[in-house]
Structure 1
Amino acid sequence: MVNEITKLKQALEHERNLNNNLRNALLGQDNADDVLKQAHTFKKQAESLQEENRKLREELDFIKRGRTTTQAINKRVDKSNAYTVSIICMMIQGKKMEDICNTLSISQSTYYRAVSAEAISDSQHMKDLYTYYKGIFDEHNITEETFKDWVMKRKKYLGRG
């Protein structure tokens, strides 16, 4: 919610700057092409923020209807597993923890939960992740063999203690 407020404040400030630039351009003080480019950029940012607001409203409505309903629990588990798969794919690609956390906008604790010894040691969980989230693996160009090799290496690494 804080990120949303910050983004909205930034968007408002950007809109004010854009309005000032448009005013200056109309008065002949700035290059009109630059102002039009800024207007186009602002429009894209506004659309992105509107989409994010829509998703947040849906999530809030969903939470208001009940956090412990089966549907709510399944949705949270699915979201958590999707993050786990994305983290694993990025690790296989050689990305660092900091980069992964920044890319996915997650905390370090979420990262560590996803790649913990308990998660990796559960073979059935790892098989299920590949089966149910194959689309995410495909997006990152990770084959099943590459994934299995990574799991085995990770188990050995975590087993060293």
Structure 2
Amino acid sequence: MVRKLSRGVALAAGLAVLPLVAACSGGGGGDRAADRATDGSSPVAAVVAPAKVEVIAELTGCEVRIRTEAEELREGVCQTDVGDYLITTFPKDELKEVWLESAAMYGGKYLVGPRWAISAKPEVLKPLKAKVGGTIRDLSQPSAS
């Protein structure tokens, strides 16, 4: 019971910021082909970053400020000249998918890797993808599941 309660609190804390991030991420159709790795990204994009906020932040060139530290997720905020973004990591991929399902109600695009997600404006996600790898997922489009 306590575990379920702490999971709910952590998810609620993570979701509390989604409206702010989603408002910044904008909609827009965008060409899915443009989001693929054939965009001439650096070789680093072939290697996907590990699920640790500090490592991902270092790869993206940001000095991260940890904002949420919970059993189910960790979040760090990056403020850079390119744009602001939120790095969220998870101990299990299943928790990441639950978080993304909840984020879908706000729409937007997210850069997603194994056990991590980055929330930012679409024009910020592409350069980050070149640095840390991952896939840009458009949560404003209905999934084909």
- Higher Cα radius of gyration: 1
Greater RCO (Cα-Cα under 8 Å, separation 6 or more): 2
For the superposition of Structure 1 and Structure 2, which TM-score range results when normalised by the shorter chain?
under 0.3
Counting helix residues as a fraction of each chain, which structure ranks higher? 1
Counting strand residues as a fraction of each chain, which structure ranks higher? 2
TM-score by length of 2: 0.25
